[in-house]
Amino acid sequence: MLVLAKVALGLGATLAMTTAYVFHEGVIRVDVDESRPGGSHVHFWVPATAVSAGMRVARLAPQHPLELAAEQAKPYLPVFRALAKELQKYPNAEFIDVTDEEQHMHIGTVNGKLHIDVVGDDKTVHVQVPVETLMDVAGRLEDASRSARAEGWHARHAKPVFASE
């Protein structure tokens, strides 16, 4: 009985630790609702830690999809990183608000999360991303971009040039 209690305590503690770790960065939430007939309704939430972990795993893949993403996002990475870093200083702020008779768009931060909300006559979109996750993503993309350069990504992925061309 005592052994069972110890095992239960161990499992409980592990579960609590895992849950705390998984959610310590917060949750990414996306809600999309189309009010037209047959419109789509998408609702999902992902622990932000899963994104970081996913990016770590992606670097192990043979095709290295992160390098491709990093190369495509390269021109915007410095701005993305600077913006994410600065956003951390403004956990509760209203940045952009556009209202007209058909829709309302709002971009701001609430409790350290970037909120993007668009409420229109026919569509509603709500996106919430922890600012910390944006920093993490920017950092990992920059790392991937650096390693792509170091490993000669362009040389490996350049289209072959034929003599006749």
- Which residue ranges make up the site for another protein (CB under 8 A)? 13, 16-17, 20-21, 24-26, 78-79, 81-83, 85-102, 111-112, 130-132
User: DSSP label at 160?
Assistant: P
Decide if 36 contacts 22 (C-beta within 8 A).
no
Compute the distance between CA of residue 152 and CA of residue 140 in angstroms, rounded to an integer.
18
Decide if 56 contacts 138 (C-beta within 8 A).
no
**Nearer Cβ to another protein, position 68 or 105?**
105
| Residue appearing with tokens 């000669």 | 152
Q: Which residues contact 35 (CB under 8 A, 6 or more apart)?
A: 121, 122, 123, 124
**Nearer Cβ to another protein, position 13 or 61?**
13
Least Å from the CB of residue 120 to another protein: 13
**Nearer Cβ to another protein, position 14 or 157?**
14
Least Å from the CB of residue 111 to another protein: 7
Compute the distance between CA of residue 111 and CA of residue 4 in angstroms, rounded to an integer.
41
Decide if 131 contacts 38 (C-beta within 8 A).
no
Least Å from the CB of residue 147 to another protein: 21
Least Å from the CB of residue 109 to another protein: 10
**Nearer Cβ to another protein, position 86 or 122?**
86
